Amino acid sequence: DIVMTQTPLSSPVILGQPASISCRSSQSLVHSNGNTYLSWLQQRPGQPPRLLFYKISNRFSGVPDRFSGSGAGTDFTLRISRVEAEDVGVYYCMQATSFPRTFGQGTKVEIK
Amino acid sequence: EVLLLESGGGLVQPGGSLRLSCAASGFTFSNFAMSWVRQAPGKGLEWVSTISETGGGTHYADSVKGRFTISRDNSKNTLYLEMNSLRAEDTALYYCAREFILDYWGQGTLVTVSS
């Protein structure tokens, strides 16, 4: 199974300041078709998860452009350029390159 | 608008069974694989199972293999999860989500396994 490791697990941030979350996979997420199926999801308190990015950096519908996704191979990053109050929640990376699908442990973003 | 609505959760004793349903609307259900993902109270996300567009292909997490069965009825736009031999560790909020990138999720249905 591919293990997804996120750092940090908690990220206290000042409003308006940037935040960054790292996700590392135990093996390459490059599929045999050449695509890399790494997604980022946001889960606000009391809400279901919401897709932010798929295939590393493809922003999903409705996601603000202060969010960005980057990386390749086994190392990936989610960045928030200026954290807003509505960004509070837990962020997960997830790989869909192979079964079983696996998620990172989650990174809690909170306002300092 | 894509909507996924789960139902069928509840309180069940260890060893018991439940069948979850996920009613889909707002898209052509038969064109998409579907998945179940669960979240134990206060914990992270755990993928449970995925079924192909036609239902001919299925995948399961090791933790549920042999106990859970995923299925779908494309004529009813509905996804199912049959859960048998339930254990306390199966207690979780169960979400259905649209594959391949899990772009849409339901609100979840709570399964509690306790005596």
Q: What is the mean pLDDT of residues A95-101?
A: 96
Rounded to whole angstroms, the Cα distance separating A36 from A42 reads: 19
Confidence bin at A111 (pLDDT 50/70/90) = very high
Neighbours of A106 (CB within 10 A): 21
Of A96, A103, A104, the CB nearest to B100: A96
Instruction: Give the nearest chain B residue to A93 (CA atoms).
Output: B45
CA–CA separation, B51 and B80 (whole Å): 10
Angle made by CA atoms B63, A90, A3, in degrees to the nearest 5: 40
Answer yes or no: is pLDDT of B100 > 90: no
In B, which residues are within 8 Å of A97 by CB distance? none
pLDDT band, residue A49 (cuts 50/70/90): very high
Enumerate the residues of chain B whose CB falls inside 8 A of the CB of residue A9: none
Reply yes or no on whether the pLDDT at A93 is more than 90.
Answer: yes
The three-class DSSP label of residue B88 is helix
Stated length of chain A: 112
Average pLDDT over residues B11-35: 98
- Tell me the sheet residues that pair with B78: B23, B73
| CA within 13 Å, CB half, A27 | 7
Question: Residue B37 class from Cβ within 10 Å (0-12 exposed, 13-18 middle, 19+ buried)?
Answer: buried
Instruction: Look at residue B110 in the predicted model and tell me its pLDDT.
Output: 98
Give the nearest partner residue to B101 out of A54, A92, A103, using CB atoms. A54
pLDDT value at residue A77: 98
Average pLDDT value over all residues in chain B: 97
CB A98 within 8 A of CB A2: yes
- pLDDT-derived band at B30 (thresholds 50, 70, 90) equals very high
Q: How confident is the model at residue B98 (pLDDT cuts 50, 70, 90)?
A: very high
Q: What percent of chain B has pLDDT over 90?
A: 98
Average pLDDT, chain A: 97
